[in-house]
A and B are shown apart, each in its own frame.
Chain A
């Protein structure tokens, strides 16, 4: 499995190679979800995955994290085939998935504890990230005592705090209110700039995809193929708070929407 990878200075961190995934639905019918997906994620880039619901975006994340295997084809991390849990990625799921038996502090510190980091160093990191997520003062609350948005923010910093080399984010801001969402987007970009990590980001929100990413991978309906890959060349740092002020935001958005529309709007309605 560990075949020596050649020089990979600027090669892909994460690759999907002709990935097919079929499931069996509860009623026993086969469900063809991924129909030959191939793409590569280059290091330190912010890539957004956009597609209609049910098209297998989450499945792609699970393949990257090694939580699932493709029916055919393969997923590679740094040139090596992913065959078991991929501990090089950080995976922020749609649900916060905080441990209900730990306080917010214990939850956020959890990956650092797993790595045996000393208590003072943990406290330092914790303070830094709590400030970013604006969760100070709630350290000793249990998850059920936090609002949904706070839980999600805690879950996000729980992954960012240990700086995994690739961060997979599955609609991380979906449950947040508009203001918090904007702040979190802003902070995410700031952190990403500082930490130089690679991000693969699922979203339903085209505006979010355009505002945040370097590249948008547009997926079709099931059986899912890649419909288009769009470079987003809006200069950084980006202005999350007034996206429409950014050059090229509108034109990129229009282009993505134009491509996406046919996947989500039924054909008959498109005429009128």
Chain B
């Protein structure tokens, strides 16, 4: 069943294909953007006549604010701080989660001892640790990194732990009978078998890293997007809050896109039908 053959049809067969494809592409974008545009329009029109502008601001105002923030450079130190916190927190959380989840998943003895604890801690809202982390790590970037890292860690850890344990046992046995050493098993069977879960965890963890960092900055900070937004909201400046949210939105979309590309590369071997994507929950 060589499905790839379909792509090899000579391109001269359908002269309208290029146009059709472009048109369907434009249609796709239009349907994708329509709800967002509609929301912005309603917001713009409704702000004032329906809801007082001091509560919700309006898109044109937020846009102006964004231009101002970037042209004066006022936002850059905040962006730099928040960016660093996100990058470090996310990376540390993912690495620790993958290593920890993998080690525990491979060892039945460790699993027996630690599984109940992990499950218990998984359910605890880590965000409640924010004030404590400020006390422990200060009001600088370390406390935010720690908060983001711990939120990311648990998510990735849990996914990877489940992933390792769901690797098909028959594949493991097949490799063992063929003479695979423990290291070869890790490299050729367990790691690739767990990869969908790792990617899944990494994807789900992006918003959690953002929450960790922003809540940390809300709680207490010297610099950062969260601090900027918090100041804006306490000074009745909704445009500032929405500008901050807009920036975070762009960041999340970008990070998701990056991960989607990574997924396409690393999980090339998976059937592209949507059926399997629900597997790694």
A residues neighboring B (CB under 8 Å): 65-67, 85-87, 89-91, 93, 95, 97, 99-103, 110-111, 113-115, 138, 141-142, 144-147, 159, 162
Identify the stretch in B13-21, B123-131, B177-185 within 8 Å (CB) of chain A at 4 or more residues.
Answer: B177-185
A99's contact among B177, B192, B270, B271, by CB below 8 Å, is which?
A: B192
Interface size class of B (residues with CB under 8 A): 20 to 34
Judging by beta carbons under 8 Å apart, are A115 and B179 in contact?
yes
Residues of B within 8 A of A162 (CB): 178
Whether B178 contacts A145 by the Cβ 8 Å rule is no
> Are B180 and A101 interface neighbours, CB within 8 A?
no
Q: How far is the CA of A110 from the CA of B180 in the complex (A)?
A: 10
Q: Is the interface of A mostly helix, strand, loop or mixed?
A: loop
Chain A residue, CB-CB nearest to B193: A101
Task: Tell me if B109 is interfacial: C-beta within 8 Å of chain A.
Answer: no
A-binding residues in B (CB < 8 A): 1-4, 168, 170-171, 173-181, 184, 188-189, 192-193, 195, 268-271
Bound Cα distance from A101 to B268, whole angstroms: 8
**B277, chain A: closest CB distance, angstroms:** 14
Cross-chain contact B178 with A90 (CB below 8 angstroms): yes
A110→B188 contact, CB < 8 A:
yes
Residues of A within 8 A of B271 (CB): 144
In the complex, what residues of B have CB within 8 A of residue A141's CB?
2, 4
What are 22 A-B contacts defined by CB distance under 8 Å? A65-B173, A66-B177, A67-B177, A85-B176, A85-B177, A87-B176, A93-B170, A95-B170, A99-B175, A100-B269, A100-B270, A101-B269, A102-B269, A103-B269, A110-B175, A111-B179, A114-B188, A138-B2, A141-B4, A142-B268, A145-B4, A147-B1
User: CB distance A91 to B174 under 8 Å?
Assistant: yes
Least distance between A103 CB and chain B CB atoms (Å) = 8
Contacting residue for A67 out of B2, B173, B181, CB 8 A: B173
- Other A-B contacts than A65-B173, A101-B193, A145-B3, 5 sampled, CB-CB below 8 A, are A66-B177, A85-B173, A103-B269, A110-B175, A115-B179
Shortest Cβ distance from B160 into chain A, in angstroms? Answer: 16
Task: Select the residue from A67, A85, A101, A147 with max chain B CB neighbours within 10 A.
Answer: A101
The answer to whether B177 and A101 touch across the interface, beta carbons within 8 angstroms, is no
- Given A95-B170, A141-B2, A145-B4, residue A114 in contact with residue B180 (CB < 8 A): yes
Asked if A97 contacts B171 (CB within 8 A), the reply is yes
Which residues on A sit within 8 Å (CB–CB) of B3? 145
Residue of A nearest to B179 (CB): A87
- Tell me how far the C-beta of B30 lies from the nearest C-beta in chain A, rounded to whole angstroms: 34
A residues in contact with B4, CB < 8 Å: 141, 145
CB distance from B275 to the nearest CB of A (A): 11
> Is A114 a contact partner of B269 (Cβ separation < 8 A)?
no
Cα distance A89–B192 in the bound complex, in angstroms: 25
Residues in B whose Cβ lies below 8 Å from that of A99: 171, 175, 188-189, 192
A250 to chain B, nearest CB (A): 37
Known contacts A101-B192, A101-B195, A147-B1; is-contact A114 B179 (Cβ 8 Å): yes
Instruction: Choose among A91, A102, A146 the residue that contacts B177 (Cβ–Cβ < 8 A).
Output: A91
User: Could you tell me the distance between the alpha carbons of A162 and B177 in the complex, rounded to whole angstroms?
Assistant: 12
Cβ contacts under 8 Å, B189 to chain A: 99
Task: Say whether B195 contacts A89, CB under 8 Å.
Answer: no
Which residues of chain A come closer than 8 Å to B173, judged between CB atoms?
65, 67, 85
A36 to chain B, nearest CB (A): 26
A87 to B180, CA, bound (A): 9
Cβ–Cβ contact B174 & A97, under 8 A:
yes
Residues of chain A within 8 A of B170, CB atoms compared? 93, 95, 97
Give the distance to chain B from A252, nearest Cβ to Cβ, in Å.
32
Residues of A within 8 A of B180 (CB): 114
Question: Taking the nearest CB of chain B, how far is it from the CB of A134, in angstroms?
Answer: 14
Cα(A97)–Cα(B171), bound, Å = 6
Contact A89 B269 (CB under 8 A): no
Measured in the bound complex, the distance between the Cα atoms of B270 and A162 in whole Å is 27
Residues of B within 8 Å of A87, CB to CB, are 176-179
Across the interface, which residues of B come within 8 angstroms of A103, CB to CB?
A: 269
Q: Which residues of A contact B2 (CB under 8 A)?
A: 138, 141, 145
Q: How near does chain B come to A261, taking the closest CB pair, in angstroms?
A: 33
